[in-house]
Amino acid sequence: MTAPPVTVIVNEGSGSGAPPEADLDGALSRAGLDATVERVRGDEVRAAAERAVHRRRAIVAAGGDGTVSTAAAVAIEHGATFGVIPTGTLNHFARDAGIPLDIEAAVATIAAGHTRLLDAGSVNGRTFVNNVSLGFYPRIVRERELERQRGHGKWPAFGIAIARTWLRYQTVTAHLTVDGAALVRRTPFVFIGNGAYKPEGLDVGQRVSMDGGRLWIYLTPECGRFEMLALSVRALAGMLGSDVKLEVLSTTEMTIETSRRHARLAIDGELATAHTPLRCAIHPGALRTLVPQGG
């Protein structure tokens, strides 16, 4: 296959930082790609992706999952080809799609030109490529960002955020409509995945599939403060087992209502606020993604 001309959008404020200019330019040159590089900040990613579409170029996101999510939404809206050079902290989308985490190998994947149609989800019309959650995790993200602003490093800020969220432990009463069935759950979190996640073992947090055409919902009813702390620690350590009381549901669309008119969400790791009820849907094969052959 022939690689399309691409615009590489480098988010200089992303995760572990932007890749060195020489490293990226050298990899693009060695791969023989017709590539334009745009170096932007977070709030400029969408505009750069729109420019790539108007120039009839594939969109390549060089950043973390927030950058990937924003650029992917533009690719879906316009039917553009999409690629990733993962330079974030966790790189969930790239890992689950089988895209190499090494810059040289990721660029070679783009140059090979092999695509695969991957699913995307939406919540109240906003695209997500990994997951959306409400409850415990968005509170952690908010506290982590506050601690980062106070000068703490990434992992100290994360530890403080978990501790503070645990001390202020709250649950959410969620009214769910799943496949026409009405459910009510009191839970510390509702997690909606674009694809099925591995619920246990060392690979917890990774997806089994990204083209199954289903949303997967995870929650833990009747989970107390100390159980939630143990669950968080075990999830981070990749040590969840079958004894964890997770309820798992699967659907193509769902709604969530809470007692609040607005819900604080984490969408692909980024904080957002949305009106309730939340309307979530899966969009099968919406994202034409450059991935390794056979990946």
Which residue shows structure tokens 């510390």? 188
> pLDDT-derived band of residue 199, with 50, 70 and 90 as boundaries?
low
Residues 108 and 133 in one domain: no
* pLDDT of 240 higher than 60: no
Q: Provide mean pLDDT across the span 266-278.
A: 93
**SS3 label, residue 54:** helix
Does residue 295 sit within a domain? no
CATH of the domain at 32: 3.40.50.10330
Which residues are paired to 123 by β-bridges?
126, 280
Does residue 175 sit within a domain? yes
Does residue 215 sit within a domain? yes
Residues 25 and 142 in one domain: no
pLDDT at 243: 57
Residues 52 and 187 in one domain: no
Does residue 184 sit within a domain? yes
Residues 135 and 280 in one domain: yes
Does residue 275 sit within a domain? yes
Measured in whole angstroms, the distance separating CA 136 from the mean position of its chain's CA atoms is: 17
Residues 21 and 97 in one domain: yes
Q: By residue range, what is the domain housing residue 166?
A: 128-284
Domain boundary among 56, 78, 113: 113
Q: Which two tokens mark 109?
A: 């994947």
**SS3 label, residue 166:** helix
* pLDDT of 203 higher than 50: no
User: What whole-number percentage of the chain has pLDDT above 70?
Assistant: 86
Domain boundary among 78, 113, 148: 113
Q: Which two tokens mark 248?
A: 């798992």
Residues 95 and 144 in one domain: no
Does residue 290 sit within a domain? no
Domain boundary among 54, 85, 113: 113
In the chain, where do the E strands start and end?
Answer: 6-11, 35-40, 58-63, 82-86, 115-123, 126-128, 131-135, 172-178, 181-187, 189-194, 215-219, 247-251, 253-257, 262-267, 270-275, 278-290
pLDDT at 13: 77
What is d(CA 86, CA 100) in angstroms, rounded to the nearest whole number? 8
Residues 267 and 159 in one domain: yes
pLDDT at 171: 83
Does residue 122 sit within a domain? no
Residues 142 and 277 in one domain: yes
Number of domains in the chain: 2
Does residue 232 sit within a domain? yes
Q: Write out pLDDT tens, residues 33-85.
A: 999 999 998 789 999 999 999 999 999 999 999 999 999 999 999 999 999 99
Residues 36 and 12 in one domain: yes
Residues 109 and 153 in one domain: no
Sheet holding 189-194, edge to edge: 247-251, 215-219, 189-194, 131-135, 262-267, 270-275
CATH of the domain at 266: 2.60.200.40
Q: Write out pLDDT tens, residues 102-142.
A: 999 999 999 999 999 999 999 999 999 999 999 877 887 77
* pLDDT of 281 higher than 90: yes
Residues 95 and 160 in one domain: no
What is d(CA 195, CA 230) in angstroms, rounded to the nearest whole number? 25
Q: Provide mean pLDDT across the span 5-25.
A: 82
Residues 138 and 225 in one domain: yes
| Greater pLDDT, 43 or 257 | 257
